[in-house]
Amino acid sequence: MKKSMEKATFAAGCFWGVEAEFRKIKGVKNVVVGYTGGTCENPTYEQVCTHATGHAEAVEIEFDPEIVSYDELLNVFWNIHNPTTFNRQGPDIGSQYRSAIFYHAPEQERIAKVSKKQLDKSGKFSKSVVTEITAVSKFYRAEEYHQRYLEKHGLAQCHL
């Protein structure tokens, strides 16, 4: 019997590049950019940029676990950004650019914590991994002009 689709939510800096990377993965059926982890309802991009809402720029991924595992998605996540910089990715600075894993189920939480611990112990980075691991809160889809942004405008626009 075919297993149903699952969701994963990650924040790894500017969501444009993160979305583009996850769209390349076989088994990923859809990726939406948006905001999560904050305190106000229906935030706009402009509000999130003020750092007052607490939201992170994030991607919500719908994937087929029979084709790609959550652990494989985590490996992509760890490799497309620097998880040792607090509230920063490249030239992008602010809490909306934080490194975060928003888990959808206890099993995702367990896998994410093990994965983070292994990465920390691996010596890949000279500094500790600061990625937060927290339960997913309401995900707000970003404005339409942010969806598939790099497909529409080209890769030169992103700082991945």
Pick the CATH number of 6-157 from 3.40.50.10490, 3.30.420.40, 3.30.1060.10, 3.10.20.30: 3.30.1060.10
Average pLDDT over residues 33-58: 94
Average pLDDT over residues 37-41: 93
Domain spans of the chain, in order of start: 6-157
CA–CA distance, 45 with 153 (Å, rounded to integer): 18
Bridge partners (DSSP) listed for residue 7: 62
| Per-residue confidence band for 146, with pLDDT thresholds at 50, 70 and 90 | confident
Q: What are phi and psi of 62, to 5 degrees?
A: -105, 125
Kindly report the number of other CB atoms within 10 A of residue 152's CB atom. Answer: 11
DSSP 3-state of 122: helix
In angstroms, the CA 77 to CA 102 distance is 12
Strands 99-103 and 6-12 come out as antiparallel
Q: Which of 14, 40, 49, 158 is catalytic?
A: 14
Q: How far apart are CA 133 and CA 112, in angstroms?
A: 7
**pLDDT of 46-98, one tens digit each?**
999 988 999 999 999 999 999 999 999 999 999 999 999 999 998 889 999 99
For the stretch 147-159, pLDDT in tens is 887 878 776 545 4
With 50 as the cut, is the pLDDT of residue 160 above it? no
Among this protein's residues, is 14 annotated catalytic? yes
